[in-house]
């Protein structure tokens, strides 16, 4: 039953991605689907991975730990998309996260670099930008993003690959679109600066409710949870409403 539901949902999402690409004259191959797997158990994630998906995103280090063994037999790439506390950095490395999409402050980059240097490792990162101006969300302010990119580029263990944002939760499409336009504009601005070691070709934006708008505005990764795995038992505020000053 659940297997059938997940497979059907995946088909619908892939179709939605394809249609949005066609509408905006983009090649569907340019847009990757990231499975947002917070609160989703190993069995369900495996169904999606065995159905051909290869990319998952987790918000909590604890969940990465818990699912690590269970997912080890299926090929996948793992991105971190939640708020990262510096005391969890060692686990991010130990549990083989491939990319941190939520780098949003200098201190986090600094601590990451220290740890990675010690272990002679590197990490792909995205800079998370707060394009919606909502206090409840993490991310560097758009006006400060370029500075942060320059600073992060100075850490040789961190490879900047793109930008990430969570769009505004609003039924008004134009307001959601504005967030994605802000991220795209930032990408252009950063590219124009020609900063050594900076590659911001990836734009991670768009979720279950707004992926079409995000694709029209240039998303290369859409992060989808509920539309594939069903409703979560915890509200998203559990993941996003942590106070900003908890660092």
Nearest-approach distance from CB 222 to ligand PLP, in angstroms: 9
CA 222 – CA 204 distance, rounded (Å):
6
* Residue 228: other Cβ atoms inside 10 A: 25
**Using CA atoms in the order 105, 243, 66, 161, what is the torsion angle rounded to 10 degrees?**
-20
What the block records as the tokens of 88 is: 């969890």
Query: Quick check: 179 and 218 in contact, CB under 8 A?
Result: no
CA 141 – CA 150 distance, rounded (Å):
15
Nearest-approach distance from CB 120 to ligand PLP, in angstroms: 30
Nearest-approach distance from CB 78 to ligand PLP, in angstroms: 14
Whichever of 86 and 226 has its CB closer to ligand PLP, that residue is: 226
Whichever of 46 and 223 has its CB closer to ligand PLP, that residue is: 223
What the block records as the tokens of 136 is: 């409840």
Binding residues (CB under 6 A) for ligand PLP: these are: 36, 38, 59, 81, 166, 207-209, 223-227, 239
**Using CA atoms in the order 77, 81, 85, 90, what is the torsion angle rounded to 10 degrees?**
0
CA 12 – CA 184 distance, rounded (Å):
26
Whichever of 3 and 236 has its CB closer to ligand PLP, that residue is: 236
Whichever of 54 and 208 has its CB closer to ligand PLP, that residue is: 208
Whichever of 60 and 90 has its CB closer to ligand PLP, that residue is: 60
Supply the DSSP string of 115-127, one letter for each residue. HHHHTT--EEEEE
Whichever of 46 and 79 has its CB closer to ligand PLP, that residue is: 79
Sign of the four-CA dihedral 29, 35, 59, 99: negative
Nearest-approach distance from CB 196 to ligand PLP, in angstroms: 29
Nearest-approach distance from CB 71 to ligand PLP, in angstroms: 18
Nearest-approach distance from CB 118 to ligand PLP, in angstroms: 28
Whichever of 55 and 227 has its CB closer to ligand PLP, that residue is: 227
CA 194 – CA 202 distance, rounded (Å):
16
Nearest-approach distance from CB 144 to ligand PLP, in angstroms: 20
Which residue's CB atom is positioned nearest to ligand PLP?
Answer: 225
């Amino acid at each position: 039953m659940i297997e059938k539901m997940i497979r059907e949902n995946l088909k619908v999402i892939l179709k939605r991605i394809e249609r949005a690409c066609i509408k905006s004259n983009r090649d569907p191959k340019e847009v990757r689907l990231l499975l947002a797997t917070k609160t989703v158990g190993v069995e369900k994630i495996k169904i999606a991975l065995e159905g051909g998906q290869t990319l998952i995103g987790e918000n909590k280090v604890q969940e990465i730990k818990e699912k690590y063994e269970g997912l080890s037999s299926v090929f996948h790439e793992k991105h971190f998309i939640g708020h990262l506390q510096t005391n969890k950095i060692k686990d991010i490395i130990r549990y083989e996260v491939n990319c941190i999409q939520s780098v949003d402050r200098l201190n986090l980059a600094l601590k990451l670099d220290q740890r990675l240097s010690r272990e002679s490792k590197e990490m792909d990162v995205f800079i998370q930008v707060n394009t919606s101006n909502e206090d409840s969300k993490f991310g560097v302010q758009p006006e400060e993003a370029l500075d942060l990119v320059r600073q992060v580029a100075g850490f040789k263990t961190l490879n900047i690959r793109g930008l990430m944002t969570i769009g505004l939760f609003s039924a008004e499409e134009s307001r959601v679109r504005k967030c994605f336009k802000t991220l795209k504009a930032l990408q252009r601005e950063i590219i124009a600066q020609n900063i050594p070691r900076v590659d911001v070709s990836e734009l991670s934006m768009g979720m279950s409710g707004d992926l079409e708008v995000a694709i029209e505005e240039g998303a290369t990764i859409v992060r989808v949870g509920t539309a594939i795995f069903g409703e979560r038992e915890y509200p998203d505020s559990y993941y996003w409403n942590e106070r900003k000053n908890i660092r």
